[in-house]
Amino acid sequence: MFAGTTELGRMFYTYNSLAKATRSGARYLSTLQDVTASTCGSPQISCTTAAKNMVLCGNVNGCGGANQPPVILPNFTASNIGTPANPRLPYYEENQPDQSGYVANPQGASFVDGGVGTFLRQGHLLSQPSAVDQRWLKLAPDNQARMQVPTLRNVDKRPYPDFVKAYGHNGYFTSLKEIAHFYNTRDVLPRCKPHDAGEGTTCWPAPESTDNMNRSKVGNLGLSDAEEDALVAFMQTLTDGFLPREQP
């Protein structure tokens, strides 16, 4: 009964997220004076359509039709997109007992987040003592370092305009442009050198883990800078209550 209710709730949530994304996206597109002013992809389509297709389908040409991939948003799977470790996290230094004797991170600086795989092995301190179904243990290797794919609903929502948001399981990315650029160039740009000024623009650090890393859908999207910006503009329409900018 509980599982049934949860599934029903999940179904409505999924439907709601999708409907919201679609409606907001459509509203956004319909407000553009000239959607063909800038074109993207090959064959050339409007950049906003290309952006919508990228978010929904993972490719600029669309999805759901013959010889096209299925819709991927929202996507309740788990995946490793290769997010780098975030050295700004105090967690890496929390390997000493606190005043209560609790050691948050016994592995210290060498900690690697194993995502769903570690959860299945009951390796995450904070998810214990919740019992994991022993029958799921065999799924752990295939899920190592995979993170739950988050909904993009409200992905740009913030309490005030200058508030810095953090994205990914460890908050490595601090803007939508940065994560869009990462999806686009993870496998194209060189590795950063220590303290590299180009980090996030002209180079990337190594992924936190390459276990089960997705190399087929993300890492080298071949997008232009304008197409990355269009992806960001589309994601900004996913904020609840989004209103199109005023027309001149």
Q: By CB under 6 A, name the binding residues for ligand HEM.
A: 54-55, 58, 72, 79, 81, 83, 147, 149-150, 152, 155, 167-169, 176, 179-180, 183, 214, 217-218, 231
**Dist. CA 155–CA 82, nearest whole Å:** 19
Q: How far is the CB of 218 from ligand HEM (least distance, A)?
A: 5
Q: How far is the CB of 228 from ligand HEM (least distance, A)?
A: 9
Nearer to ligand HEM, 112 or 197 (CB): 112
**Dist. CA 206–CA 217, nearest whole Å:** 18
**97 and 103 in contact (C-beta within 8 Å)?**
yes
Nearer to ligand HEM, 140 or 147 (CB): 147
**Dist. CA 48–CA 40, nearest whole Å:** 9
**Dist. CA 234–CA 226, nearest whole Å:** 12
Q: How far is the CB of 111 from ligand HEM (least distance, A)?
A: 15
The residue at minimum Cβ distance from ligand HEM is 169
Q: How far is the CB of 25 from ligand HEM (least distance, A)?
A: 12
Nearer to ligand HEM, 108 or 150 (CB): 150
Nearer to ligand HEM, 45 or 231 (CB): 231
Strands 39-40 and 45-46, sheet pairing: antiparallel
What DSSP letter does each residue of 8-33 carry, written as one string?
A: HHHHHHHHHHHHHHHHHHHHHHHH-S
